[in-house]
């Protein structure tokens, strides 16, 4: 069969993304199989092949007046992700944002831009505080609360998150 | 529309899962994957607060023991085996996974690593927003406080707090 089930789903996802993100600047083949609630008062830019997976809980993408949200190519979001920008939230290319992650640039005390560089992986339920920068290739462990910058290629783990070498997680996993 | 889709989602669970006696299903229950899901006698799955996800990939299984209770927003994903013992209580918005789905190194991100089964023994209480990562084993009668992330073995009858998790006395 030329048109497989996956191809059809992908086509449906692309059409759905066009509808959900109308008025946003979209790259080519952005797809959304999951539900995304978009509030666009500022500028939302999604790169090529950005995707939103399907899940039991809807994601939300809120960009207030005068703010911007920028997402790089091939970055993927699982379900229940909540992104809210009052100033600036920037996410790099090829990032993986797991389910129920919360990213916002406004907290109780301050508003400061959040920047996530390329190839970052953020685990389930992690929370990023305003003003943090996650360096290239870093991993934020599930459930972490990130209050300070994460250097490139490090593992942020805990509440509040502490920095560990990436190898910590690899060795424990291979042992298991 | 909402009530109908909730009912359809529960009907899907009743058709595809192996159910014990007196299983109570409420709200929306998202069942995905070709794997085996079995719910023991008197299990309560209450998705009225937020949808519950039961996702057993092909060849994998999710086993929920007798009298267990799962609250809203919880998601259980299995690629090999997730086992919840009898009378286990799972709080709202918990996440239970037996696979990380990605490797930490940037150039191997798309490879799926090996699974390590998750085992929650009898009479365990998991608070809200607890995350059980691959390889987590929670011993009998333990209490895991809300927001805790568990990645390894928790001894029986202990009280676990914080992230990284630490044992604070006995339950």
Helix spans in B58-117 (H): none
pLDDT tens string A21-74: 999 999 999 999 989 999 999 999 999 999 999 999 999 999 999 999 999 999
What average pLDDT does the structure give for chain A?
91
In this predicted complex, what is the ipTM?
A: 0.88
Tokens of A77: 């979001």
Number of domains in chain A: 1
- Do A144 and A119 meet the contact criterion of CB atoms below 8 Å apart? no
Angstroms from A66 CA to nearest CA on chain B: 33
φ, ψ for residue A17, nearest 5 deg: -65, -40
Interface of B with A (CB under 8 A): 28, 30, 50-53, 73, 75, 93, 95, 97, 100, 102-106, 109, 113-114, 116, 129, 131, 133-135, 147-149, 151-152, 162-164
- Considering only CB atoms, which chain B residues are within 8 Å of A57? 50-51, 73
Confidence of residue A4 (pLDDT cuts 50, 70, 90): confident
Q: Give the one of B28, B93, B133 whose C-beta lies nearest to A142's C-beta.
A: B133
CA A169 to chain centre: 21
CATH number for the domain harbouring residue A164: 2.160.10.10
- Considering only CB atoms, which chain B residues are within 8 Å of A99? 75, 95
Between 1.10.10.10, 2.30.110.10, 2.160.10.10, 3.40.228.10, what CATH number should domain B2-164 receive? 2.160.10.10
Q: What is the pTM of this model?
A: 0.90
Closest CA to B129 of A156, A144, A125, A121: A125
Residue B64: the pLDDT is 97
Residue A2: the pLDDT is 59
Residue A170: the pLDDT is 52
Residue A167: the pLDDT is 80
Tokens 């339920």 belong to which residue? Answer: A125
Q: Answer whether residue B60 shows pLDDT above 50.
A: yes
Confidence of residue A172 (pLDDT cuts 50, 70, 90): very low
- Give the separation between CA A112 and CA A129, rounded to whole angstroms: 9
- Give the separation between CA A143 and CA A137, rounded to whole angstroms: 18
Confidence of residue A174 (pLDDT cuts 50, 70, 90): very low
Nearest CA in chain A to B164: A158
Angstroms from B104 CA to nearest CA on chain A: 7
Domain that holds residue A65: 5-175
Q: Answer whether residue B164 shows pLDDT above 90.
A: no
Beta-carbon separation of A56 and B129 below 8 A: no
Choose the weakest-confidence range: A42-56, A87-101, A154-168, B104-118.
B104-118
Q: Answer whether residue A176 shows pLDDT above 60.
A: no
- Considering only CB atoms, which chain B residues are within 8 Å of A157? 163-164
Angstroms from A75 CA to nearest CA on chain B: 12
């Amino acid at each position: 069969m030329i048109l497989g089930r996956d191809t059809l789903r992908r086509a449906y996802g692309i059409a759905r993304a066009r509808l959900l993100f109308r008025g946003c600047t979209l790259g080519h083949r952005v797809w959304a199989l999951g539900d995304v609630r978009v509030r666009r008062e500022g500028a939302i830019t999604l790169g090529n092949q950005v995707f939103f997976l399907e899940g039991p809980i809807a994601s939300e993408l809120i960009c207030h007046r005068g703010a911007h949200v920028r997402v790089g190519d091939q970055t993927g979001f699982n379900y229940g992700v909540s992104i809210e920008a009052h100033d600036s939230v920037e996410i790099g290319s090829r990032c993986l944002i797991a389910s129920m992650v919360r990213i916002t640039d406004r907290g109780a005390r301050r508003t400061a831009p959040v920047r996530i560089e390329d190839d970052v992986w953020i685990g389930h339920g992690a929370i990023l505080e305003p003003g943090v920068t996650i360096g290239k290739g870093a991993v934020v462990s599930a459930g972490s609360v990130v209050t300070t910058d994460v250097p490139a290629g490090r593992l942020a783990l805990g509440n509040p998150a502490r920095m560990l070498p990436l190898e910590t997680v690899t060795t424990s996993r291979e042992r298991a | 529309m909402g009530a109908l889709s909730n009912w359809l989602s529960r009907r899907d669970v009743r058709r595809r899962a192996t159910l014990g006696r007196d299983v109570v299903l409420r709200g929306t229950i998202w069942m995905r994957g070709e794997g085996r899901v079995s719910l023991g006698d008197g299990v309560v799955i209450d998705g009225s607060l937020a949808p519950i996800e039961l996702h057993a990939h092909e060849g994998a299984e999710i086993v929920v023991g007798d009298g267990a209770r799962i609250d809203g927003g919880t998601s259980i994903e299995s690629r090999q085996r997730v086992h919840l013992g009898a009378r286990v209580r799972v709080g709202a918005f918990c996440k239970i996974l037996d696979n990380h789905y990605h490797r930490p190194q940037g150039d191997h991100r798309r490879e799926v690593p090996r699974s390590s089964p998750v085992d929650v023994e009898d009479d365990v209480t998991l608070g809200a927003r607890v995350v059980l990562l691959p390889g987590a084993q929670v011993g009998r009668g333990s209490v895991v406080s809300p927001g805790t992330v568990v990645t390894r073995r928790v001894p029986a009858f202990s009280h676990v707090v914080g992230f990284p998790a630490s044992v604070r006395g006995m339950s």
